[in-house]
Amino acid sequence: MRSSRVSTLARFGAAAAVAAVAMAGALAPVAASAGTKPHHKAPTSIQINAHAVRGTHHKTDVINGQLRSRHHGVAGESLTLECRTAHTKFAAVGSATTDANGKVSFTVTPTKRTACKLVFAGDATHRKSHSSVVILRPAKHHKK
Q: Give the per-residue pLDDT at 139.
A: 77
Q: What is the tens place of the pLDDT at every residue in 67-124?
A: 999 999 999 999 999 999 999 999 999 999 999 999 999 999 999 999 999 999 999 9
Note whether residue 67 is domain-resident. Answer: yes
Q: Does residue 132 lie in a domain region?
A: yes
The sign one gets for the Cα dihedral 14, 17, 22, 25 is negative
Q: Establish if 7 belongs to a structural domain.
A: no
In sequence order, the β-bridge partners of residue 96 are 79
Q: What is the pLDDT of residue 55?
A: 72
The model carries a pTM of 0.69
The share of the chain scoring above pLDDT 70, in percent, equals: 69
Give the pLDDT of residue 33: 53
The larger pLDDT score, comparing residue 62 to residue 11, is at 62
**Residues spanned by the domain of 76:** 45-136
* C-alpha dist (Å) from residue 35 to 30, 38, 108: 9, 10, 50
CATH of the domain at 132: 2.60.40.1940
SS3 89: coil
Residue 131 covered by a domain: yes
The total domain count for the chain is: 1
Single-letter amino acid code for the residue at 73: G
Per the model's pLDDT, the better-predicted residue between 17 and 66 turns out to be: 66
DSSP 141: P
Residue 3 in domain: no
In a domain, 25, yes or no: no
Which residues does 42 contact at the CB level (< 8 Å), separation at least 6?
69, 70, 125, 126, 127
Does residue 5 fall inside a structural domain? no
pLDDT tens digits, 35-61:
555 678 999 999 999 998 877 766 889
94 within some domain: yes
CA angle 109, 105, 101 (to 5 degrees): 170
Handedness of CA 126, 127, 132, 137 (dihedral sign): positive
